[in-house]
Amino acid sequence: MLSRTADHLFWMSRYTERAENTARMLDVNYQTSLLPQSAAVAQVGWQGLLSISELLPAYAAKHGDVTPRSVMEFMVKDESNPSSIVSCLKAARENARAVRGSLTTEAWETQNQTWLEVNRMLRKGEFERDPGQFFEWVKFRSHLSRGVTVGTMLMDEALHFMRLGTFLERADNTARLVDVKFHAVQSDFFGAASEKDQEYDFYHWSAILRSVSGFEIYRKVYRDVIKPERVADLLILRADMPRSLHASLNEVVSNLAMVANDQSAETQRRAGKLRADLQYGDIDEILATGLHAFLTQFLDRVNELGGRISRDFLVPAKA
């Protein structure tokens, strides 16, 4: 397969997944902001959202103070922000258009329709009218894109590069979410004693679970009150949780094996080593040595993996 084609397919999937993850994080912050809470706690939530995407400096340069309305506008509609939902959907569509011949009609039409529809919705003010409904629509279109891809594409290299992009992006986003949300919790709330703080605890952790569609899964797996260490275990180490780091790395490793070439052995080794660390990891050990340090190192390794995949497969070879 041409490296340029592989590059477009890889990034098309990454941008689609990124749009969904941004919608998930905005949705959970928006829903949480409707709960009774102090202005300071709400502020931490919106700042955390910008920190997850490393957008605080860009946001501050444009808007100054952090306000819910400005953050949502910046993360949804601002085309100058490369990580906004509209920018991600545009980039996904442009990448799809560049390799139209490698996609099935259904896969292309799903991407194209999403782009046309999001523009119509934003023009008509549907986002402002009901942000929650808009975020659900973005998630649905991402689900549809993945389903159509798996259901209609030939199971060849094109599909494997698309899957690689999806799960590498998912691993990155889930790690950022867990890191920022655990970091944001004040020590008063972590295993809080007072009734009011326990109530905050419940809403905080259940919001994190809902942002990765993990609330019902948590109840099914643990059948217990929501505890921070179990939330971390579910989102990091559980291979049967679809959006966990472990599940994402399983997919990255298996799809890498399908497209392996003469120069990708080291990339495969590193991906396998990262997966093994999750496979044999223990949440108590991770928490004892420091969750933030573990996740920071994980993000560095995922970032390096993305760079290696680009060098091995996606950058056109020089003549």
- pLDDT tens per residue, range 222-240: 988 888 899 999 999 999 9
HEC readout, the chain? CCHHHHHHHHHHHHHHHHHHHHHHHHHHHHHHHCCCCCHHHHHHHHHHHHHHCCCHHHHHHHHCCCCHHHHHHHHHCCCCCCCCHHHHHHHHHHHHHHCHHHCCHHHHHHHHHHHHHHHHHHHCCHHHHCHHHHHHHHHHHHHHHHHHHHHHCCCCHHHHHHHHHHHHHHHHHHHHHHHHHHHHCCCCCCCCCCHHHHHHHHHHHHHHHHHCCCHHHHHHHHCCCCCHHHHHHHHHCCCCCCCCHHHHHHHHHHHHHHHCCCCCHHHHHHHHHHHHHHHCCCHHHHHHHCHHHHHHHHHHHHHHHHHHHHHHHHCCCCC
> Encoding tokens for residue 88?
């991600």
The pTM score is 0.90
pLDDT (tens digit, 9 = 90+) per residue, 71-103? Answer: 999 999 999 999 999 999 999 999 999 999 999
What is the pLDDT confidence band of residue 207, given thresholds at 50, 70 and 90?
Answer: confident
pLDDT (tens digit, 9 = 90+) per residue, 264-298? Answer: 999 999 999 999 999 999 999 999 989 989 999 99
Between residues 145 and 205, the one the model is more confident about? 145
Give the mean pLDDT of the chain: 89
> Can you tell me the mean pLDDT for 39-44?
75
Q: With pLDDT > 90 as the criterion, what percentage of the chain qualifies?
A: 68
pLDDT (tens digit, 9 = 90+) per residue, 113-152? Answer: 999 999 999 999 999 999 999 999 999 999 999 999 999 9
> Can you tell me the mean pLDDT for 249-270?
95
